């Protein structure tokens, strides 16, 4: 039986239009925090218990920096937005010192082979991951109206950090995207005839601002699920987007089939997009804008990938090998 407290937390986040993935992650860390404190009610805990929990994640669990940060964000939400008992800004806890992973990058030849081998049914979102440098969730959440054929670009709304941006669209994808939109329209024509169909899900209170938008075609997902489903937390029948795990599993399986020695994920295609742009002479600021990075230092990791290798640093072993000729 689910905890009434966690159920209330979940409902509160849904009312604030948190993404389902964020809700699931926050509830997981709030639950872990409660168990860490021997099921003591969070209202009876505060800074000291939060500091101990975060230090435990770093010292004992040895979680990655991003994981510890996610746990902290969940607890900040819990105390600030749900319990109305905000945490102190100067929490003193052991920060995890696990080094972030260097990005894994495919060569253009490897990307070409990988994309050619991916099943047609799932290939288009994969082409966008590489061709436009999209994050996985940005790709699956695309709406029909986000594609700008006139200016060969894609509008990304409410991405990581709530930011919007416009990214490039390869002209070679124009035809297949138009075919995909025609396919989505067939789904739409069937769905809109159903009396119980509530239209597509609209986030960030858009449903209130645009009451008719949920049933307008342009708002529907570019990559819809093949089945209708009930929206979580409601009784609304909708057609959601495809599940991101379909793409994750397909890319992993395809890379294994091709015997790639590198560990390939959807994000590998985004890493490759950035690295290949820089290799072709793109300005780092341009790459930063395309990726949607707030801090250019995040983008500079791709220059490190290039500069650390044979592209810019000549190994002294090369001189020895030349002498042996």
Catalytic residues: 135, 160, 267, 270, 293, 302
Question: Exposed, middle or buried: residue 260 (CB in 10 Å: 0-12, 13-18, 19+)?
Answer: middle
Question: Exposed, middle or buried: residue 325 (CB in 10 Å: 0-12, 13-18, 19+)?
Answer: exposed
C-alpha to C-alpha distance for 152 and 149, rounded to whole angstroms: 5
CA 97 from chain centre, in angstroms, equals 24
Cα maximum dimension of the chain: 80
C-alpha to C-alpha distance for 204 and 208, rounded to whole angstroms: 9
If DSSP codes are grouped into helix, strand and coil, which group holds residue 224? Answer: strand
Q: Are 278 and 284 in contact (CB under 8 A)?
A: yes
Burial 105-133 (b: 16+ CB within 10 A, else e): bbeeebbeebbeebeeebbbbbbbbbbbb
49 closest CA partner among 78, 13, 8, 26: 78
If DSSP codes are grouped into helix, strand and coil, which group holds residue 230? Answer: strand
């Amino acid at each position: 039986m689910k905890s009434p407290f966690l159920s209330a937390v979940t409902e509160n986040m849904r009312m604030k239009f948190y993404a389902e993935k964020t809700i699931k992650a926050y509830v997981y860390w709030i639950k872990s925090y409660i168990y860490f404190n021997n099921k003591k009610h969070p209202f009876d805990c505060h800074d000291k218990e939060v500091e101990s929990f975060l230090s435990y994640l770093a010292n004992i669990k040895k979680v990655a920096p991003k994981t510890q940060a996610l746990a902290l964000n969940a607890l900040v939400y819990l105390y600030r937005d749900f319990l109305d008992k905000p945490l102190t800004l100067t929490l003193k806890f052991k920060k995890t010192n696990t080094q972030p992973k260097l990005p894994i990058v495919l060569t253009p030849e490897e990307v070409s082979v990988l994309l050619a081998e991916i099943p047609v049914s799932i290939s288009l979102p994969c082409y966008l991951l590489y061709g436009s440098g999209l994050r996985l969730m940005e790709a699956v959440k695309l709406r029909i109206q986000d594609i700008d054929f006139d200016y060969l670009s894609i509008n990304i709304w409410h991405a990581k950090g709530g930011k919007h941006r416009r990214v490039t669209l390869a002209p070679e994808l124009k035809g297949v995207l138009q075919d995909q939109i025609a396919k989505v329209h067939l789904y739409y024509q069937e769905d809109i005839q159903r009396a119980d169909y509530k239209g597509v899900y609209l986030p960030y209170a858009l449903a209130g601002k645009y009451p008719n938008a949920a049933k307008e075609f342009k708002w529907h997902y570019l990559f819809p699920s093949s089945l209708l489903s009930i929206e979580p937390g409601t009784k609304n029948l909708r057609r959601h987007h495809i599940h991101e795990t379909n793409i994750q599993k397909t890319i992993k399986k395809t890379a294994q089939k091709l015997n790639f020695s590198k560990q390939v994920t959807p994000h590998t295609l985004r890493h490759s997009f950035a690295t290949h742009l820089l290799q072709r002479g793109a300005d780092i600021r341009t790459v930063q804008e395309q990726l949607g990075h707030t801090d250019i230092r995040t983008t500079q990791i791709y220059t490190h990938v290039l500069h650390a290798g044979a592209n810019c640093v000549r190994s002294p072993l090369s001189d020895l090998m030349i002498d042996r000729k």
